Amino acid sequence: MLRLITDFDGPIMDVSERYYHVYQLCLERAKAPDQPVTLLSKPDFWRCKRAKVPERAIGQRSGLNPDQARHFAHLRRELVHQVPYLVYDRLIPRAVESLEILQAYGIDLAILTMRREQELSIPLDRYDLGRFFPPSQRYCIGNTYSKTGDVNDKPLLMAQALATLPPAEKTWMIGDTEADIVAAQTHNIPVIGVLSGIRDRERLAGYYPDRIVADLAAALEIICPPLSLTRSPLP
């Protein structure tokens, strides 16, 4: 059996609109009432996020002073993962079609995400993604878990997944961040970085994934060469 373990945000969900909405909200809350600020365009903001520009620096580029920028960064961390803002998330183009092809070929699918349980259940229900990932194939963090950092926590989550999933002949990992790459490499799993998420090529390349591709759809023929969006599943 061939298995694919995939991150959720980046390979499947586009979180850029949520992050940009929260950026605007936090900028408005952090500035003084009559203070002029420079709102970054969404493309400029997302380039900053993908290049891992610190939150404080984003705040200062937007016209906040250092104290305001610290407050901005705190607000951003507090708000960006809250349930009310999840409505801004959207599916990555071709992600569902890719999952359908993988499932049709009998490839075992599992999610490994740093979303909390409530953050994951909402889009799974909204977009009918539970058909690809039954509860036993979902690995996320608890609603009250105290994060220590994704690069620290995600390898632990991977260990839990590998200890409880049925044996597989080969397992691949797909993700869009350094945490995904480290989690896979810690457990000697080949990993593909995708550019459809929150890190750019330069950031991903610095962690030496096995391959870097555009998105989940582009990864199909690496995971299993007969698969692609231009071919139909075997009858």
Looking at residue 108, its pLDDT comes to 96
The CA dihedral of 150, 153, 158, 163, to the nearest 10 degrees, is -170
141 three-class SS: strand
* Stretch (H or E) spanning 16: helix 16-30
Residues 6 or more apart whose Cβ sits within 8 Å of residue 93:
215
pLDDT of residue 33: 94
Q: What is the pLDDT of residue 204?
A: 98
Long-range contacts of 161-164 (CB under 8 A, 24+ apart): 161/5, 161/110, 161/112, 162/187, 164/136
Residue in 132, 113, 109, 129 with CA at minimum distance from that of residue 223: 109
Global pTM exceeds 0.85: yes
| Res 224: pLDDT | 79
The per-residue pLDDT for range 149-202, each reduced to its tens digit, is: 899 999 999 999 999 999 999 999 999 999 999 999 999 999 999 999 999 999
* pLDDT mean over 105-134: 96
Radius of gyration of the chain (CA): 18
pLDDT digit string (tens) for 120-162? 999 999 999 999 999 999 999 988 888 888 999 999 999 999 9
- pLDDT, residue 202, reads 97
What is residue 232's predicted lDDT score, i.e. its pLDDT? 42
- The mean pLDDT value for 217-227 works out to 83
